[in-house]
């Protein structure tokens, strides 16, 4: 099986999109995502209408939209892609207008993206989306102006006398700053309050309004300006994680050199090149599309797709992938996938889908935030109403401390820490040729205690090779005998025969009367003499076995080799041993798994002797052979009972049941079948088993970073809770603390973008 199969599985079955998240969470500005470089429409349900929601930044906004559409009759289905800020609506005729109105009332502006949705009800598209570069540049200038006005208000308050004129100037500057920085926050905040929900926009709207009403005008302006600026900075930081995946799209060039019907070459846009077109790439150029080489030989750097560090030699019949780099010579290839369906594009699409699944830690954080924010809101009300009676504070002082608590109550740092960390880890894994289908598997991989591995195509190359040959008839000419064997083997399509023909590399000789002997081998004549090329059983039936030959056969079979013999007349002329060679990475991978405390186990349908030989070579002590698919499934269940969480790595159809049963299934992307890819949770794009321990190490790092972020976010808030109630924390200090914590957890999560190190 060639490596072309990697073209098939890179659009694996993915788990459903995220369900509605907790309503009391963060992200009112573009801090949780960025527009995707392209909009995927292939998986939009038939009849659905596609809309862009520019301010739908994370799962919280998705949840709010879902909640807003619940009472709308006729809405039959919703599909969200947060990375692209898109939503597909399936609705009855006449229900669309009401659905869009409900979305607008929730504080969002849907923009039609397909013709069928382009109606007056759909609204006009925005000139610059909030997450775009143009939108961010415009927003930054506006927020800088708001900050200058807030500083001016502070200066007037500090320097001017307490006259009516200075107070009017102070109030006017503060109002202008709040208007520049906070209109979007107020719109979404009041929309949330009207629906009885508390999010960061609602908290900030109440806090700033309260501060303004009690006469803290400059501080109200400063809080709003700092909050908005910090959100924008945070948005850019978080976009690094999102864009790490989208940036892979830039690896594939926009233009391709295509052969025309008259034989000339013409440069065309890659997304306009049709299937089966012939494309030419020169040394140093990137491959624009997936294809199969039709002319030339070269080395190609496949690191962007498979993570392989060493260039791979390519010749006629070998696959090439979009985004990889041609290094040594010109190649021509036939296009096998259009631009939107290349291996690289589908990897990106799959990882984007994986971002929609809710990791266990993220679900915990959402549940915690659902309780935390209302609890702090109630605490703030209690401080405002009860402390003047219980602690003798002035009403203004008590109200001010309550407003500071509202700012601290923002769970943005807490909630944003998880998706940033997960996306960073998914992007890092994708760059290394590890396609993880969701945050759940990213987190759960650290718990694996045992990993079962198929033999053929997983631990071994899956391609039989001639590993030994010997002349048994000393009176015969070795070159002549080997040439006859190669010629007869070359006529067969059996993998063992092909391995013999390829390994001997002799000039073909004319053979006649070729016929297959099912279950035994083949037979043919050369220059009028009859020859058989077959297995041990065939030679026994011919009556040609001897004790010496039996001893040789036993030696090879114990080493896990398949032995084929060439015989003619009353003598055996030559012996050829074929074996499925172990992958160079297998031994190192098994050692790394054991170092991580994970027990490797081999499960194979091959005979026990061969399995033991391969297992011994790979460093696997627990080897089980002669297993049927249902027996592999039972073995996985037994491993789960014995060790706890167990994984399975395989590539064939017979591995699919075990892959599905395992807590985490790893499919080999190079030699794997579509069925194995569908059943697996992680796809190893380059078949390098060292990616298994690498996935476990990445999972452990991600888990550590997740809890570092949670501890950091809650720790900072705890300190400022105490300062707010019993100390002298101000509102602008609370904003700095909250948004500073957000930036810290984002930066910490982005550390996972670095290439994982071994060990």
Q: Which one of 109-118, 494-503, 673-682 scores highest in mean pLDDT?
A: 494-503
Contact 117, 50 (CB under 8 A): yes
CA–CA gap between residue 302 and residue 314 (Å, rounded): 11
735 has pLDDT over 80:
no
451 has pLDDT over 90:
yes
Of 13 and 433, the structure prediction assigns the larger pLDDT to 433
Of 257 and 387, the structure prediction assigns the larger pLDDT to 257
Q: Which residues contact 340 (CB under 8 A, 6 or more apart)?
A: 38, 40, 42, 271
59 has pLDDT over 60:
no
Length of the chain: 759
Query: Which tokens is 85 given?
Result: 């800020």
Q: Give me the chain's average pLDDT, please.
A: 77
654 has pLDDT over 70:
no
Query: Which tokens is 317 given?
Result: 């019949």
461 has pLDDT over 90:
no
Q: What is the b/e burial string over 519-551, where b = at least 16 CB atoms within 10 angstroms of the residue's CB? A: ebbbbbebeeeebbbbbbebbeebebeeeebee
Rounded mean pLDDT, 614-628: 87
What is the percent of the chain with per-residue pLDDT over 70, rounded to a whole number? 78
Contact 469, 575 (CB under 8 A): yes
Q: What does the pLDDT look like over 540-590, one tens digit per residue?
A: 888 888 888 888 888 887 777 888 899 997 889 999 998 878 888 899 999
- Strand 664-668 and strand 529-534: the pairing is unpaired
Q: What does the pLDDT look like over 212-256, one tens digit per residue?
A: 888 778 877 877 887 777 667 666 655 655 555 555 556 678 889
Q: What is the pLDDT of residue 349?
A: 65
Q: What is the pLDDT of residue 171?
A: 85
680 has pLDDT over 60:
yes
Q: Which one of 192-196, 440-444, 691-695 scores highest in mean pLDDT?
A: 691-695
Read off the DSSP letter of residue 759: -
Rounded mean pLDDT, 98-108: 84
Query: Which tokens is 427 given?
Result: 């992007």
Q: What is the pLDDT of residue 246?
A: 56
- Dihedrals phi, psi of 531, to nearest 5 degrees: -130, 150
Q: What is the pLDDT of residue 235?
A: 63
**What is the DSSP secondary-structure string of 409-440?**
T--HHHHHHHHHHHHHHHHHHHHTTEEE--HH
Q: What is the pLDDT of residue 120?
A: 34
Of 22 and 376, the structure prediction assigns the larger pLDDT to 376
What is the percent of the chain with per-residue pLDDT over 90, rounded to a whole number? 17
Q: What does the pLDDT look like over 115-147, one tens digit per residue?
A: 444 333 333 333 334 444 445 556 678 888 888
3-state secondary structure of 285: coil
Rounded mean pLDDT, 195-205: 73
CA–CA gap between residue 600 and residue 281 (Å, rounded): 43
Contact 100, 110 (CB under 8 A): yes
Q: What is the pLDDT of residue 217?
A: 82
Q: What is the pLDDT of residue 2?
A: 35
3-state secondary structure of 347: helix
Supply the residues annotated as catalytic. 454
User: Looking at the DSSP assignment, which residues form a beta bridge with residue 522?
Assistant: 516, 533
Rg (CA), the chain: 33
CA–CA gap between residue 708 and residue 418 (Å, rounded): 11
Angle subtended at Cα 399 by Cα 395 and Cα 404, rounded to the nearest 5 degrees: 150
Read off the DSSP letter of residue 662: S
686 has pLDDT over 80:
no
């Amino acid at each position: 099986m060639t490596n072309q199969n990697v073209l098939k599985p890179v659009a694996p079955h993915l788990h459903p999109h995220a369900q509605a998240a907790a309503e009391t969470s963060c992200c009112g500005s573009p801090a949780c995502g960025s527009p995707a470089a392209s909009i995927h429409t292939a998986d939009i349900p038939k009849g659905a209408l596609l809309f862009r929601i520019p301010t739908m930044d994370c799962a919280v906004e998705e949840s709010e939209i879902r909640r807003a559409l619940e009472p709308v009759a006729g809405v039959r289905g919703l599909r969200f892609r947060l990375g692209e800020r898109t939503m597909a609506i399936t609705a009855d005729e006449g229900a669309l207008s009401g659905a869009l109105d409900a979305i607008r009332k929730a504080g969002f502006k849907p923009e039609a993206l397909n013709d069928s949705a382009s109606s007056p009800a759909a609204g006009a598209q925005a000139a610059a989306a909030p997450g775009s570069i143009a939108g961010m540049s415009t927003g930054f200038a506006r927020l800088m102006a708001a900050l200058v006005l807030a500083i001016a208000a502070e200066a007037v308050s500090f320097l001017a006398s307490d006259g009516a004129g200075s107070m009017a100037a102070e109030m006017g500057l503060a109002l202008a700053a709040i208007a520049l920085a906070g209109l979007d926050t107020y719109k979404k905040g009041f929309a949330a309050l009207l629906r009885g929900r508390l999010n960061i926009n609602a908290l900030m709207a109440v806090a700033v309004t309260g501060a303004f009403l009690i006469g803290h005008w400059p501080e109200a302006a400063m809080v709003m300006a700092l909050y908005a600026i910090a959100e924008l900075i945070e948005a850019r930081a978080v976009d690094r994680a999102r864009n790490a995946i989208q940036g892979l799209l830039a690896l594939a060039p926009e233009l391709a050199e295509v052969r025309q019907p008259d034989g000339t070459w013409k440069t065309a846009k890659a997304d306009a090149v049709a299937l089966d077109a012939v494309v030419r790439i020169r040394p140093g150029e990137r491959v624009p599309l997936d294809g199969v080489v039709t002319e030339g030989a070269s080395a190609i750097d496949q690191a962007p797709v498979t993570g392989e560090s060493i260039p791979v030699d390519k010749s006629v019949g070998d696959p090439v992938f979009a985004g990889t780099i041609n290094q040594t010579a010109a190649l021509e290839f036939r296009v096998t996938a259009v631009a939107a369906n290349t291996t690289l594009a589908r990897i990106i699409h799959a990882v984007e889908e994986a971002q929609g699944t809710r990791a266990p830690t993220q679900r915990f954080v959402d549940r915690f935030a659902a309780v935390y924010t209302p609890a702090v809101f109630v605490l703030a009300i209690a401080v405002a109403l009860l402390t003047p009676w219980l602690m003798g504070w002035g009403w203004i002082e008590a109200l001010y401390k309550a407003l500071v608590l509202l700012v601290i109550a923002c769970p943005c740092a807490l909630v944003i820490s998880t998706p940033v960390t997960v996306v960073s880890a998914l992007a890092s894994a994708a760059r290394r040729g590890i396609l993880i289908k969701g945050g759940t598997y990213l987190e759960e991989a650290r718990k694996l205690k045992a990993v079962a591995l198929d033999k053929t195509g997983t631990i071994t190359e899956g391609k039989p090779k001639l590993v030994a040959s010997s002349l048994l008839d000393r009176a015969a000419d070795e070159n002549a005998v080997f040439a006859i064997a190669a010629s007869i083997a070359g006529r067969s399509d059996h993998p063992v025969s092909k391995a013999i023909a390829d390994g001997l590399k002799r000039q073909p000789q004319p053979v006649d009367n070729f016929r297959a002997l099912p279950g035994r081998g083949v037979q043919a004549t050369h220059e009028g003499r009859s020859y058989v090329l077959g297995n041990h059983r065939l030679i026994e039936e011919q009556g040609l076995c001897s004790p010496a030959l039996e001893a040789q056969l036993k030696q090879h079979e114990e080493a896990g080799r398949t032995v084929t013999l060439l015989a003619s007349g009353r003598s055996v002329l030559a012996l050829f041993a074929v074996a499925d060679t172990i992958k160079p990475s297998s031994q190192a991978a098994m050692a790394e798994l054991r170092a991580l405390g994970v027990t490797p186990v081999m499960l194979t349908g091959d005979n026990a002797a061969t399995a033991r030989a391969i297992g011994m070579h790979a460093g696997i002590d627990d080897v089980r052979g002669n297993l049927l698919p249902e027996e592999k499934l039972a073995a996985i269940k037994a491993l789960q009972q014995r060790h706890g969480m167990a994984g399975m790595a395989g590539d064939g159809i017979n591995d699919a049941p075990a892959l599905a049963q395992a807590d985490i299934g790893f499919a080999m992307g190079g030699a794997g079948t579509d069925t194995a890819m569908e059943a697996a949770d992680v796809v190893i794009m380059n078949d390098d088993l060292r990616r298994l321990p690498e996935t476990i190490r990445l999972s452990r790092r991600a888990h550590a970073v997740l809890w570092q972020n949670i501890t950091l976010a809650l720790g900072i808030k705890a300190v400022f809770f105490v300062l707010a109630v019993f100390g002298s924390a101000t509102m602008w200090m609370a904003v700095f603390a909250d948004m500073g914590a957000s930036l810290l957890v984002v930066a910490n999560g982005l550390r996972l973008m670095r290439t994982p190190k071994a060990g």
